[in-house]
Amino acid sequence: MTYFRLKGNPVKTDNYVHWLHYEKPTSEEKLFLTEEMGVPLDFIEDALDRYEVPRLEVTQNKFGEPIRLMLVSYPQIMNDYHSYVEYETRPLAIILLSNRIFTISPSHVHFIEKLQMNHSEGSISSSHILLDLLWELTQSYVQMIMDIDKTITDMEQNIINTTRNEAFYKLIAIHKNLVYFDTGITENHEIIKNLVEEEIFSNDRVERELLHDIKVASRQASVMVRESTDMIDHLSEVFSSVISNNLNNIMKFLTSLTVVLTIPTIIGSFWGMNVGLPLDNSPFSFFLLLGISILISIVTIFWLKKKDYL
């Protein structure tokens, strides 16, 4: 658990805002949240469910207090290889309760620490903290998509020199990353659009401007992920064409090589017949046949190269 006791000038009241962040909460922490804070247990369980979809929910806790849940998806690095990175999305629960805000996640959220540093000397209202979380969340998507675009650009520039297995692994990882990002960004964008109607932002011009910026950034992330998907689809087609062309060249070379190697066999088979043949008694017949075979093979090789068959 990470605990923040926040107070700052932007808040129009003298009340403190308490922010508690739980990363994979223990049974004791769950009990504290449900029994002492009045957070519904399903809010906590949904935040730990890998496949839970983003949503907004407003209800009352067991103490009769209004409580808001915002469940969003945040991107997370799963595997960082030398030349590419695998991402997934995880749920992040943001719970607003009076002058308290709770965030719950099943794993480490990289931008939480950044917000902690930004708010260490003074903070803001719970609604502003919520907007800061959404801003950092959206920007993390944008930054990670930019990193994916760099990987795609590097693959385009080095596709000829890239080993086949490495390129396949990269393509599969990037496709999977973009699927996760597309789903997460789309669902989060719907949540952000619905926030426009929330009364908690209706009277604060600064917060509404920040919410508008978040909405624009979310739209930008949505456009970027679609463009990246189109780029990787195009790159997959190019890669398939390169593999097909390389395979055709190999088959063409092997076929031409087979033709060249067959020439000595054909010539030698004539003199292997049990019939009378010219020069069959000559001591130089073997060397003559060898020379003829080599000469015809060389001529055939030049002809195949001229026709671009070899």
Rounded-to-10 torsion of CA 202, 205, 210, 212: 60
* 8 A C-beta contact, residue 32 and residue 42: no
Token digits of residue 271: 């003199």
| CA 221/CA 161 separation, integer angstroms | 31
Are residues 144 and 93 located together in one domain of the fold?
yes
**What is the pLDDT confidence band of residue 290, given thresholds at 50, 70 and 90?**
confident
Are residues 50 and 181 located together in one domain of the fold?
yes
pLDDT at residue 2, rounded to an integer: 52
Overall number of domains in the chain: 2
Q: pLDDT tens digits for 209-235?
A: 888 899 999 999 999 999 999 999 988
Are residues 32 and 64 located together in one domain of the fold?
yes
| CA 172/CA 185 separation, integer angstroms | 20
Are residues 279 and 200 located together in one domain of the fold?
no
Are residues 95 and 150 located together in one domain of the fold?
yes
| CA 97/CA 117 separation, integer angstroms | 23
Are residues 105 and 168 located together in one domain of the fold?
yes
pLDDT at residue 12, rounded to an integer: 37
Element of type H or E holding 90: strand 85-97
Quick check: 253 pLDDT over 90?
A: no
Domain range for 23: 2-245
Q: pLDDT tens digits for 123-149?
A: 467 788 888 999 999 999 999 999 999
Residues in CB range of 302: below 8 A, 6 or more apart: none
Domain end, chosen from 219, 245, 271, is at: 245
- What are the helix and strand counts (H, E) for the chain? 7, 6
| CA 226/CA 181 separation, integer angstroms | 10
Are residues 179 and 260 located together in one domain of the fold?
no
pTM, entire model: 0.77
pLDDT at residue 17, rounded to an integer: 62
pLDDT at residue 283, rounded to an integer: 74
Are residues 65 and 187 located together in one domain of the fold?
yes
Reported as half-sphere exposure (CB side, CA atoms, 13 A), residue 211 has a value of 21
Are residues 113 and 156 located together in one domain of the fold?
yes
Quick check: 96 pLDDT over 70?
A: yes
- Helix, strand or coil for residue 129? helix
Are residues 83 and 220 located together in one domain of the fold?
yes
Are residues 240 and 252 located together in one domain of the fold?
no
